[in-house]
Amino acid sequence: MVKVTIDGKDIEVPEGTKVLQAARLAGASIPTLCHHPLLTPYGGCRMCLVEVEGIRTLQPSCTLPVNQNMIVHTDTEKVRSARKFVLSLIFSERNHFCMYCQKSGGDCELQNCAYVQEMTHWPIAPNWKPFPVDASHPRFVVDHNRCILCRRCVRACGELVGNFTLAFEDRGANSLLIADLGIPLGESSCNSCGTCVQVCPTGAFIDRASAYMGHDDQLDCTPSICSGCSVGCGINVISRENHLLRIEGNWDAPVNQGVLCEVGRFQPLDENRERILTPLVRKNGELKAATWEDACSLIKEKLIPLKNDAGDGVAALASTRLPAEALYLFKQLFVGHLGSSLATGIEEGMPTASPASLAVQISGPFETHLDGLKSADCTFLIGADLTTGHQVAGFFIKRNLPKGASLIVVDPGPNGFDQHASLSLKPVKGTDCDLVTGITAAILKSKAMKEVQPAGSTIIGDLELAAKTTGISTRLLQAAADLLAAAQNPVIVYGKGITAQKSTDVLKALVKLRDLLDLSNGNHTGLIGVKGEANSLAASQYGLNLPFELNSQRAVFLALGDDYVNQRLIKRLAGVSFLAVQASYRSPVTDLADVVLPVETWNEQEGHFVNLEGRLQKANRAIEPPEGVISNLQALQLICDALGFQPDRDWKEPLFRQPAAVELFEN
């Protein structure tokens, strides 16, 4: 610990702490602009200058490490006048005629800094020239005239997202934020995650959807969980008078620490499907508005005769984006009460069933938490594409690559990470097991660890055999083995390319590889299955992970919520004699239905979700639903009521009943 004195107050802080943090801990308030707590300190704006006894010039506190017995003054006349001078310079450098800016009036960190310093004008005459505005991006606009060159966006794009799209060209007053080598942002390598927009302190990044729609103090902010995929990122839903304006990453969320992908931040704003606002019942071939009573009694009339009819009974399918509360009620209603032999999730267990069965076989979880990915120095990515799904997990991998981390991609097809990979292995489809065991054998050999076979393993690998069946040279396979063996914190990530395979052999081989790496480097090696939709894992824990193979079922109930349907499913449902669907939006499948129940969307309903690492999180209601629309849970409850069935309301305990691929835990 180091002792420092800040404005006369003694404080002890760990070595390496920056003066800014120490001062804030001591209760001093130092204004900052280029500083962002999640980014590497840059020391560019000079707003945070402080006086340090014994040093002649003022020092930027955000980059200055503390020294033993350092004496710091944060609020002297010299400091205050320096701040004003710095602000005057920044304001005069570009067009900060604030009345035209959507952030003016409370949301701009630059303007707010000036008000705190009690500045009402800037004494230096502005001498700026006009800068261009880049409006090529579909989600946001960059107005270089408002840019204060703080480089927060550049650092966020690189350090948090790992995309390295943004940089600065030229110097001094001519400095210009550029994308790639100076091409329009909309044509660049930008992945539209919007992290740069969220970190920009001024109005330089303009969010197309929410600019000029209101200041922060006029808006409602509801912390919640993204339901875009199983990563389960923490979000803040920003709304005004019950209209969704934008979605921001929650800096305090343990999963993503503020970072979001395009699917989480922007895609929900594109929603343009036709909303279903009243129950519908088919009469004379046409769907007509009906009461909840009529709709539920028709469902009751059709379902009661099918009760406990194993062969021809009712089949039921639920979206794996529904909250756990609704999924568990669905399970009890269709399996427990109606005795359906085919009640499952819309994913048909593709991302979850085989890991779940392995967990039962070996009586316990075998996967690890997402955090491992953030510190991985080697990632072995097999059967998953983290550029099309689970993108934030992909960001965790990409941002470590410039720090020397390696990436091995195993995918018979094209993979979005091929271009970033140290090694991209393209095995013949169906040969993953040989590949993994071959690499394992090579590591055993190189580590001279032949005798330390992990317990219970039956799969013996061979590098030569692997080369033969996979079609990949022994040299490349050996290179992969070498990268893994050299790593201190390797992580194995697998996806649907592996879980969709019927056998659990590849999974077992991956567990064995992980165990071997643990033994050889004495560290804990990560193993992460990416799962699928937001509540994949919960659905699987409730047993809703079977293939949806319709036989002669006479009725199907589809709890779709706001999910999408694909052609495969529509084809299978087309011949069913009675189809009931609970859905938020009209779609080809609601057009096919005999009864439709209108339900809330992701941001209207509250409920719990289990993310890919087993973290149980609660999503909150941010938007009031339209009148007459109820939650997925309430709709299922109405059907239970109609059938006279009283379900168990404790959804939590049953989640933990079966061993899962990863240990479930509460946030």
Ligand X SMILES: Nc1nc2c(c(=O)[nH]1)N[C@H]1C(S)=C(S)[C@@H](COP(=O)(O)OP(=O)(O)OC[C@H]3O[C@@H](n4cnc5c(=O)[nH]c(N)nc54)[C@H](O)[C@@H]3O)O[C@H]1N2
Q: Which of 81, 375, 488, 566 binds ligand X (CB under 6 A)?
A: 566
Least distance CB 175 / ligand FES (angstroms): 15
Asked if 263 is part of the footprint of ligand X (rule: CB under 6 A), the reply reads yes
The entry of ligand FES, Mo ion, ligand SF4, none near residue 264 (CB within 5 to 8 angstroms by kind) is ligand SF4
Nearer to ligand X, 351 or 355 (CB): 351
CA 24 to each of CA 231, 257, 369, 411: distance values in angstroms, whole numbers, following the listed order: 33, 21, 32, 49
Least distance CB 341 / ligand X (angstroms): 19
Rounded to whole angstroms, the Cα distance separating 81 from 567 reads 67
Which positions from 246 through 275 interact with ligand SF4, judged by CB under 6 A?
Answer: 256, 260-261, 263-264
Least distance CB 224 / ligand SF4 (angstroms): 11
Angular region, 316: left φ>0, alpha ψ -120 to 50, beta rest? beta
Rounded to whole angstroms, the Cα distance separating 359 from 347 reads 19
Q: Which of 348, 434, 505, 562 binds ligand X (CB under 6 A)?
A: 348
Least distance CB 117 / ligand SF4 (angstroms): 19
Which of 209, 212, 234 has the alpha carbon at shortest distance from 223? 234
Nearer to ligand FES, 46 or 608 (CB): 46
The full DSSP string for 508-523 is HHHHHHHHHHHHHHSS
3-state secondary structure of 378: strand
The entry of Mo ion, ligand SF4, ligand X, none near residue 161 (CB within 5 to 8 angstroms by kind) is ligand SF4
Asked if 530 is part of the footprint of ligand X (rule: CB under 6 A), the reply reads yes
Least distance CB 564 / Mo ion (angstroms): 11
Q: Where are the alpha helices (DSSP H) in 106-145?
A: 109-116
Half-sphere exposure of 97 (CA within 13 A, CB side): 7
Which of 621, 612, 557, 599 has the alpha carbon at shortest distance from 335? 557
The entry of ligand X, Mo ion, ligand FES, none near residue 491 (CB within 5 to 8 angstroms by kind) is none
* End-to-end CA, the chain: 31
Asked if 664 is part of the footprint of ligand X (rule: CB under 6 A), the reply reads no
The entry of Mo ion, ligand X, ligand FES, none near residue 479 (CB within 5 to 8 angstroms by kind) is none
Which structure tokens are listed for 495? 């996806």
Asked if 589 is part of the footprint of ligand FES (rule: CB under 6 A), the reply reads no
Rounded to whole angstroms, the Cα distance separating 613 from 622 reads 25
Q: Where are the alpha helices (DSSP H) in 351-473?
A: 353-361, 371-374, 391-398, 432-446, 463-470
Asked if 35 is part of the footprint of ligand SF4 (rule: CB under 6 A), the reply reads no
Rounded to whole angstroms, the Cα distance separating 251 from 240 reads 21
Asked if 351 is part of the footprint of ligand X (rule: CB under 6 A), the reply reads yes
Q: Which of 62, 229, 466, 513 binds ligand X (CB under 6 A)?
A: 229
By rule CB under 6 A, what string of x and - marks binding of each residue 190-209 to ligand SF4?
Answer: xxxxxxx--xxxx-xx----
Nearer to ligand X, 9 or 568 (CB): 568
Q: Are 530 and 389 in contact (CB under 8 A)?
A: yes
Asked if 386 is part of the footprint of ligand SF4 (rule: CB under 6 A), the reply reads no
Which one of the spans 98-106, 309-317, 340-348, 637-645 is the region binding ligand X (CB under 6 A)?
340-348
Q: How many residues in the shown chain lie near ligand SF4 by CB under 6 A?
A: 41
Q: Which of 49, 108, 157, 253 binds ligand SF4 (CB under 6 A)?
A: 157
Q: Which of 73, 151, 398, 514 binds ligand SF4 (CB under 6 A)?
A: 151
Nearer to ligand SF4, 165 or 431 (CB): 165
The entry of ligand SF4, ligand FES, Mo ion, none near residue 347 (CB within 5 to 8 angstroms by kind) is Mo ion
Q: Are 396 and 377 in contact (CB under 8 A)?
A: no
Nearer to ligand X, 221 or 550 (CB): 550
Q: Are 377 and 490 in contact (CB under 8 A)?
A: yes
Rounded to whole angstroms, the Cα distance separating 458 from 443 reads 17
Q: Which of 13, 26, 39, 45 binds ligand FES (CB under 6 A)?
A: 45
Which one of the spans 223-231, 361-369, 477-485, 551-559 is the region binding ligand SF4 (CB under 6 A)?
223-231
**Order of strands, edge to edge, in the sheet holding 140-143?**
133-134, 140-143, 205-207
The entry of ligand FES, ligand X, ligand SF4, none near residue 495 (CB within 5 to 8 angstroms by kind) is ligand X
Half-sphere exposure of 134 (CA within 13 A, CB side): 20
Which one of the spans 252-260, 387-395, 399-407, 473-481 is the region binding ligand X (CB under 6 A)?
387-395
Break the chain down into helix, strand, coil percent, rounded to 5.
Answer: 30, 20, 50
Torsion, Cα of 143, 149, 150, 155 (10° steps)? 80
Least distance CB 225 / ligand SF4 (angstroms): 8
Least distance CB 229 / ligand SF4 (angstroms): 3
Which positions from 55 through 114 interact with ligand FES, judged by CB under 6 A?
Answer: 60, 62
Q: Are 303 and 555 in contact (CB under 8 A)?
A: yes
Q: Name the phi and psi angles at 561, rounded to 5.
A: 60, -135
Nearer to ligand X, 13 or 539 (CB): 539
Tokens 């052609």, located at residue: 567
**Strand runs labelled E in 357-496:** 378-382, 406-410, 423-425, 490-494
The binding site for ligand FES (CB under 6 A) comprises: 32-35, 43-48, 60, 62
The binding site for ligand X (CB under 6 A) comprises: 228-229, 263, 346-348, 350-351, 382-385, 388-391, 410-413, 415, 429, 432, 495-497, 500, 530, 532-533, 564, 566
The binding site for ligand SF4 (CB under 6 A) comprises: 147-153, 156-157, 161, 163, 165-166, 177, 190-196, 199-202, 204-205, 226, 228-229, 231-233, 256, 260-261, 263-264, 390-392
